[in-house]
Structure 1
Amino acid sequence: MNPEASTGLSSAHGDQVMLFRDVSLGPHEAELRFRLIHLWEARNPNTKILIGEEMLLIDEEGTVIQGFVPAGRVGTFDLSAGFVYKLTKFFGSRSKIQYRVADHSATVSFSWNSSLSVLENHPVLFPVDRFRFHSYDEFRANCDSKGGLYDYVGHMKLVNGQTITDHIVLDEADITEKRHLCVHVQSLEPVMKLYLWDQ
């Protein structure tokens, strides 16, 4: 890896690819290649004003990083979960502790001169989106470290007994009464039952 790849301002050109582990704070001209796992709108919880678009990205090494498109640039980029993209010219900003969804300390922020395109026929297979679970020993080792465990491994199989499809219809009355969802997650061989409780 080129040592310049991790400096504040990379002198990279179009043929240099930076991996997420090398993303640091500050402007970068290097190229990032990633699969978009998920994206969602970030709004002020009180005023409901759009802050921007948050994303979860994964690179060819399986490293996950958070992405962000500021409110003024939302709609500029044609983004769809599951697609593999090539991004050049971005800014590495510090991840906010309370809204952090990835372990990396930096967030890939799309700037005014960012260029994004779908990466067609890419030679490297990017990991698909999935949930990753840590063992008890990993949780115990990280206890009281004031850090988060953000990675993921496995696939959702059932939500409240229903298989995951585009047309899943959950019983809202049942969810309101019990105030939780029951999710079955498959991690390699075992299937875990995960309850998600409201509040």
Structure 2
Amino acid sequence: METKGNSSIFSDRKTNKKTVASSATARANGKSTASYAIVMKPNGKSAVSSAILMKPNASTALSFAHGDQVMFFRNVSLRPHEADLRFHLIHFWEARNPNTKILIGQEMLLIDEEGTVIQGFVPAGRVGTYKLTPGSVYKLSNFFGSKNKAQYRVTDHSATVTFAWNSDLSTLENPPVPIHEDRFRFHSYEEFQANCDRKVDLYDYVGHMKLVNGQTITGHTVLDEVDIAEKRHLCVHVQTHDGPVMKLYLWDKAASDFCQKFKSYGSTPSVLLVTTVTPKHLGG
């Protein structure tokens, strides 16, 4: 099986600190779903724990903290909105035409105080207008709820928060309500199999790296950046926590970003977290 990825985050197996990847998800209809957390221990072993998100009460559709009218993500519909959104920016990346490389806009993953994750989008004409920093808390006024396209969908919510011409984004240094910085959902090997070749993105895939461009992961692995730049991609064999090994292909900027992060660690990283992957069968 082959997967294509757009971004990656590493965890160092030799650090004394535990690397924790939490997971949970809340559907757009507000129902609770089971979630999982994978904790990478210093000895390289992983432990799996579970959590449940409680269904929010319908009466809490709007929060009036500090007199502000704040809308939750579960209430975002396909139309213009003047209410404020308050959220953590988990991650953002450039969306480009795969053939022409022309910039389409900026895609974002956002999480609100209820733990609901939604996609955000800044059109190409407004890219650079807003200062975006992953992990920061923002308040957004005036936006448009647009339909989430299936081929680019990485959240359960059917809508995308699209920035409009009159959108106003401000940073909240001391938000009145604490908001989680991340909320990941890890997919099993069976889920990858079930969604292969459907042109639907899955996200939040974590596993142990076994090979990088055919090289075994050792304490002194060095990547050939010139060769990777010429081929415009690299291949990583990643073993999921439940056993199977998959080939993960990183292309263009994702490949160069991988190389830079790989080199930035004092020792060879062993765990890979990837967001936005498209599962495909390779061969038979």
Task: Calculate the TM-score normalised by the size of structure 2.
Answer: 0.50
> Match of 1:72, SS?
helix
Residue matched to 2:95:
42
Report the structure number with the largest CA radius of gyration: 2
Select which of 84, 87, 101 maps to 2:137: 84
Residue matched to 2:248:
197
Residue matched to 1:73:
126
Bigger RCO of structures 1 and 2 (CA < 8 A, at least 6 apart): 2
Select which of 224, 236, 243 maps to 1:181: 236
Residue matched to 1:118:
171
**Cα shift at 1:80:** 1.1
Q: Give the partner amino acid of 1:54.
A: E
Q: Which segment drifts farther, 73-82 or 39-48? A: 39-48
> Match of 1:38, SS?
strand
**Cα shift at 1:124:** 2.2
Identity across the alignment (%)? 58
CA 1:15–1:46: 2 relative to 1, 3 Å:
same
> Match of 1:114, SS?
strand
CA 1:107–1:123: 2 relative to 1, 3 Å:
same
CA 1:151–1:48: 2 relative to 1, 3 Å:
closer
> Match of 2:133, SS?
coil
In structure 2, what is the Cα distance between the partners aligned to 1:15 and 1:72?
29
Within-5 A mapping of 1:34-183: 34-129=87-182, 131-134=184-187, 139=191, 152=204, 172=225, 180-182=235-237
- Give the CA RMSD over aligned residues: 3.9
In structure 2, what is the Cα distance between the partners aligned to 1:64 and 1:147?
21
CA 1:170–1:123: 2 relative to 1, 3 Å:
farther
Tell me, yes or no, if structure 1 residue 18 matches structure 2 residue 74: no
Residue matched to 2:261:
none
Instruction: Identify unmatched segments of 5+ residues in structure 2.
Output: 1-57, 250-281
Q: Give the partner amino acid of 1:47.
A: T
**Cα shift at 1:129:** 2.5
Q: Deviations over 1:78-115 (max 9, x none)?
A: 11111111001000000111111111110000000000
Q: Deviations over 1:37-76 (max 9, x none)?
A: 1111111122221111111111111111110001111111
Instruction: Identify unmatched segments of 5+ residues in structure 1.
Output: 6-13, 164-168
> Match of 1:108, SS?
strand
In structure 1, what is the Cα distance between the partners aligned to 2:127 and 2:235?
32
CA 1:18–1:192: 2 relative to 1, 3 Å:
farther
Do 1:180 and 1:195's aligned partners in 2 also have CA atoms closer than 8 Å? no
Do 2:145 and 2:161's aligned partners in 1 also have CA atoms closer than 8 Å? yes
Q: Deviations over 1:95-147 (max 9, x none)?
A: 1111111111100000000000011111322222253215689x59x889x89
Do 1:64 and 1:151's aligned partners in 2 also have CA atoms closer than 8 Å? no
**Cα shift at 1:193:** 8.1
**Cα shift at 1:194:** 6.5
In structure 1, what is the Cα distance between the partners aligned to 2:243 and 2:218?
15
Residue matched to 1:10:
none
